[in-house]
Structure 1
């Protein structure tokens, strides 16, 4: 015999069985609701309702009851939970698993769960991300700590933490670790983080590591220690520094750099302020780079630290792909340790630029205009052109050709003044036009004084030419006109007027 069990929150339980000959029947939500109300009145009314469906009350059997479209053995609140979860996109089998693993959901009011879902959506966690979060961490719907956290995030911060950042936090952090989050944020503000930068910091750290797993005391010690080396400024520029442990990571890394500087705390501060990301590298990583520069390039610790200050990104250059072959190239060009140090402080980008996409093309240009391979002159020229693009270098060489210079002329000028190859094409064009048209001079004068192309056109060249032209005419030496110091030029100008 088929059977139904009808149960209600009032703990009323009625036994119902189908009448003989009518074993198949069903009830929808409306019929079940009406049945529940009738059950609270009288048995005669209930019998009158059941008769058309072929059902009758049983005095002896406890019979199971179900209705179409509803999971078995759930009360009204649970049914409504199913409806809410379905709206989010969660399937019935997933809902069942969630409720089995998190029984607290069934004892939580629907209004409370719905309010929590709305809170998550207000923070930007919607659609598929909300679905994934609830599937993975259903306790986000019941944990009390989450309410206070999200109200602080939504109402007390001058900006918005990115939804994916919040989702990562909810996924990786137990709700109990959210307690005190607001006080930790206020501590950073008390240490000097600008109000407008706090959300930038929170969006660029691992919130679990930097804020939740660390105590207020740990965060306070970290910011106090870093205050000696740029403090809040380096945290704002590189928020992920807060991810690191103070005792096992930050202090050893700072101390190693300080030791490399010869104990100069101010110099260490300068380095950290220039590239806070240098603290992202382990002591072991930094030591390996330092040792290579010591042993292979022959540099001293003060020289290595100076290179770090000039070009701190040397720490990110691959030892095998960049440092070893490029220092090897400089040694092949005849540079000794001191030469290599001077080269790297003047042209540090040589260690960072791509060989295939940058340096090799520049080498080709230099060889084409006459530079010999593995020579000091080639190294000097290559150092100069690290500061310009391949496209600009090609235009500059083309400009010289257009004014009648030969490859040998360009080679001679660049050996005297390598910087001419790194100047911008448009700037060189203006100066050469002014030289030939504004000053009426021969372009060939650049062979004797290519440094002319390095002076500012308006502030130096035009100003001095116009001032001197009235006194000594137009046949003045370009070298004497431009290379004399500003003080001496002013003194000579005043003397000529007296």
Structure 2
């Protein structure tokens, strides 16, 4: 498949200039825009959508989500240079902003909540972190004031709380790139890059975030790089609606040569066992996969070989969790293995856990694996339960694990980790009810019958 696509791509690249000359429309969809499009884009960026009715969210879940939002905000503030104490003080002053984050979470994932499906900790963070980072691009040094005084936008010349900034030259490059991308021309026309990205379905916030993450993105050739890669992804089966997500996550990808860089990496990964029929899903899970060097990929493959995986097992791991290639072997992968070995898990058990749930390497030892393991030791479940269901480590300790274990303990029933954690709260209540009835039935059947 890829060899055919490589030939097709070479032909497409040679004809793109004439094919697209004189038009800004995507070949698959032609859209028309109102004259005041830029103003509408800015309005959409500033207004947001928080119409979701929070009454459909159980109070306990709502409280847990606020705690998770606080955790995300705390990590962001520390990343900007605030001390632990300063970050905590800012969060205590930011109740309205915390509520805003939770409301945004509900709006983005409205359909999930309406059918009773809760979000995992990773999903919550993947929603909130890019949004908070976009606020840094928008407000710069004033971002802390913005958080504390939300929804009031801070005055630009007001002294802001000191936040350590990257090098001024880098900031200047980001600001220049963002300005280049969204500025209006002398006759009031929109920039070709900006218009094309709007046609793809991106909003102003996403365009700013992608450009700030990769200032070079504003200078990539629209006809020679961006459009050809969009078409390439569509040919692989990626939905057009998913392209903006890829652009935001990894704008660097759109500066790479398809025939010179991307296809050779894909062929190499197919040799390693990645399912060629799953490329659309793989790229959506980790757009950065295609930006890494073969040396980086080989280092991860060598590590998985050491764990005991080989052949199809490695291919399945890379297909299910392609982000594993972004993990450092020395700083991420080896410490996780060492942790489980020290807790008494055998080499075969760790191999089984990694094969079933390679995402386990994405979780922080200090912030996730250690506290969840320590709590697990209090539950009375055997290590075998974790070997069978390592996805236990993917759930929030405070939001899901601890409260559900408490209910199970209170009712005195026995439920496997999978049935306890992998279902929505409504389905979990049904599981408890069925388990309780079965337990009572067993107790009645074991009682001696009266004569």
Q: TM-score, normalised by structure 1?
A: 0.45
> Which one has more relative contact order, counting CA pairs under 8 Å at least 6 apart?
2
Q: Which has the larger Rg?
A: 1
